[in-house]
Chain A
Amino acid sequence: MAPPSESNPEENEALEPWTSWRRACAADLCPPEHRRALHEFAARRAETWLHRSIGRTCLPTVDPARLPPAQCWHLLESHLAVNRTRAGKRYKDWIFERSQGAGVERLDAILSGAALILRDAVRAYLHREFSRAGTLSLDQPVAGHETLGLILGDLLADGNPDHFERRDLESLARELASSFVETLDAADHILLFARASGIALSHPAVRTASGLGRSALHARYVKLVARVGEIVGDRFEEEDRETRVQLGVLTIEELKKIIILSRRPEFELLHFFQEKEGTDSHE
């Protein structure tokens, strides 16, 4: 670990609880003032995150007071500890090693590393306490897609209807896809090609080819799927929701097949980048 800064006594003082914790193995074994500082760090962060979660989800009441400072700190200490020995707490070394990074104040790096772990620990706590197993509904909206009307049941639609039904649906999907593909522009083609080939939308080659960034492409994909859903909904209004969802999913798959077959030679370059990106084309 880098030596304490000689030029910044304030930072050195703020670092003391952390170095004390590293030596002592657990906050409970630190001097009271250090323990208090560590607990306060965890409580302040956890409170911010717990407040954020209130009202954003169906959580009935997440009262930060339920989590006293010592318990907030315990969430952090237990999240990645394999066991109670020093060797089982090597994540502490990870936190301190971040402080060796150039261009970052040691204290900032330590606080940031600890906060990363604490955020995951708070999320796990929320999951443990409030994930509401047994009370969910298939009509529950899928977060992030509420405006599209996507519900949990849509994600569970059976992708394996019986043989004859599937053959009918596939035939309809091919028909829908072959007319829908005419409405797509070049960026849509690149988008579907990337989706079908497993190339990340954030990949530079995709951005260059489409002229769009990841967020714009993602939004475009959501719209495209929604448009297919609307067409299916309009044409097959009399069918049940599950059948319409199955048909929509198959239509998107057919669209990808069409793009792959018709434009593969042009997009071979993207494939090349896909193969290379595991080794040398990271952003």
Chain B
Amino acid sequence: MNDAIQRAQQEKLARWLFEWQMDRELAAVEDAPGDLPYRAKERAPDMPLLSPGSIVLFQPATSELARAPLTALTAATSAGTALFIPFGRFQEPAFGGEMPSGLEPAGLRILCPWLAFHAGRGLKVHVWDTCEILEAPLKRALALAHRPLAELLVLNDASGPPPIRHPLDPRRDYIEEERERMRAVLAPFARDDESTLLKAAEFPDEE
């Protein structure tokens, strides 16, 4: 890998680390929001018919959803189930399991195929908007979603961030945190619908 590519990866990682550090700092403010004892009183309607590329907004269902509205996208549908790929919180991909979405809004820039999950028709969601994701990123996200996390951690794509190797790389903390958050978010749905399954739970986070 040549110097220019290494330099580009180094810059990507530094920018991601900057945002990670900001995230820690802002979350540490005493009156940080998000810890309300929230419980949903009513359920959203059953999952409506969605086509690949749809962006959906989940019903807020738990106080553990201490972040901006979780948004996800249906990447594919098959008999009764769909594959959802969440948007990331940050502006830069953390590692090879994340990629630019091609969308402009700051909250929708990064897709996280490593956090993809399958869900059945019983999933309760609100449709946000439809057909906003371009076909090319959608296809790439789908391909990444089918690769094991262990592979994605060390993916060394010249146009992406550097692989994760060091045991104290903060991106490992980020991965653990996001995975736990997703499990908490999906827990109420999973109870209602046995086909809801967080894909990242299938793979170890280390090599």
Do A and B come together as binding partners? yes
Chain A residues proximal to chain B, CB less than 8 Å: 48-49, 52-53, 56-57, 78-83, 87-88, 90-91, 93-94, 97-98, 100-104, 108-109, 111-113, 115-117, 119-128, 130-134, 136, 138, 140, 142-145, 148, 150, 152, 154-157, 159, 195-198, 200-202, 218, 221-222, 225, 245, 249, 252-253, 256, 274, 277-280, 282-283
Q: Mark B49-77, 1 if CB is under 8 A from A, else 0.
A: 00000010101100000111101000000
**Is B14 positioned at the interface, with any CB of A under 8 Å from its CB?**
yes
CB distance from A38 to the nearest CB of B (A): 16
Q: Which residues of A have CB within 8 Å of B186?
A: 278
A128 near B167: Cβ-Cβ < 8 Å: no
Interface contact B22-A126, CB-CB below 8 Å: yes
In the complex the two chains form, is A120's CB within 8 Å of B15's CB? no
Are A116's CB and B129's CB within 8 A?
no
Chain B residues with a Cβ under 8 A of chain A: 6, 9-11, 13-15, 17-29, 31-34, 36-42, 55, 57, 59-60, 66-69, 71, 89-92, 103, 105-108, 126-129, 132, 149, 154, 162-163, 165-170, 173, 176, 179-180, 183-184, 186-187, 190-191, 194, 196-198, 201-207
Decide: A93 near B18, CB < 8 A? Known: A79-B68, A119-B26, A200-B180.
no
Q: Quick check: B41 and A156 within 8 Å, CB to CB?
A: no
A-B contact sample (10 more), CB < 8 A, given A104-B36, A278-B190, A280-B191:
A48-B31, A87-B128, A90-B127, A101-B38, A101-B41, A116-B34, A128-B106, A131-B18, A142-B17, A156-B9
Pick from A126, A136, A202: contact of B10, CB under 8 Å? A136
A140 to B13, CA, bound (A): 12
Residues of A within 8 A of B14 (CB): 131-133, 136, 140, 152
Chain B contacts for A122, CB-based, 8 A = 26
Give the complex CA separation of A93 and B60 in angstroms.
10
Q: Within 8 Å CB of B167, what residues of A? A: 195, 221, 225, 249, 252
The closest CB in chain B to the CB of A195 belongs to B206
Task: Please name all residues of chain B whose beta carbon is closer than 8 Å to the beta carbon of A57 when the two chains form the complex.
Answer: 18, 21-22, 25
Give the shortest distance, in Å, between B93 (CB) and chain A (any CB): 13
Which of A52, A148, A152 interacts with B28 by CB under 8 Å?
A: A52
CB distance from B197 to the nearest CB of A (A): 6
When the two chains form their complex, are residues B183 and A278 in contact, meaning their CB atoms are under 8 A apart? yes
Instruction: Find chain B residues with CB under 8 A from A79 CB.
Output: 68, 105-107
> Are B18 and A127 in contact, with the CB atoms below 8 A?
yes
Q: How far is the CA of A274 from the CA of B165 in the complex (A)?
A: 23
A117 & B68 in contact (Cβ 8 Å cutoff)? yes
Q: Assess the A101–B39 pair: CB atoms within 8 A.
A: yes
Q: Are A157 and B166 in contact (CB under 8 A)?
A: yes
Check if A131 sits within 8 Å of B15, measured CB to CB.
yes
Are A80 and B40 neighbours in the complex by a CB distance under 8 Å? no
* Cβ contact within 8 Å between A48 and B29: yes
The reply to whether B18 and A130 contact each other, CB–CB distance below 8 Å, is: yes
List, in ascending order, chain A residues with CB within 8 A of B149's CB: 198
Chain B residue at minimal CB-CB distance from A198: B204
* Cross-interface CB contact of B55 among A82, A123, A128, A131, cutoff 8 Å: A82
Q: Is the CB of B17 within 8 A of A143?
A: yes
Contact status of A127 and B91, CB under 8 A, knowing A112-B34, A200-B176, A280-B191: yes
A sample of 13 cross-chain residue pairs with beta-carbon separation below 8 angstroms, ordered by A number, consists of A103-B39, A104-B36, A104-B38, A108-B36, A115-B34, A116-B66, A117-B107, A121-B107, A123-B19, A127-B22, A128-B91, A195-B205, A279-B190
> Taking each of B28, B127, B206, which has the highest tally of chain A beta carbons within 10 Å of its own beta carbon?
B206
Write out the residue numbers on chain A whose beta carbons fall within 8 Å of the beta carbon of B42.
100
Contacts A90-B129, A93-B57, A131-B15; A123 near B23 (Cβ below 8 A): yes
CB-CB < 8 A to A144: which residues of B? Answer: 21, 24, 170
Residues of B within 8 A of A109 (CB): 36, 38
CB-CB < 8 A to B105: which residues of A? 78-82
Alpha-carbon distance between A253 and B153 when the two chains are bound, in angstroms = 14
> Contacts of A49 on B, CB cut-off 8 Å?
26, 29
CB distance A90 to B91 under 8 Å?
no
Residues in B neighbouring A88, C-beta threshold 8 A? 129
- Does A143 lie within 8 Å of B26, measured CB to CB? no
Are A53 and B26 closer than 8 Å at their CB atoms?
Answer: yes
B19/A94 in contact, CB under 8 A: no
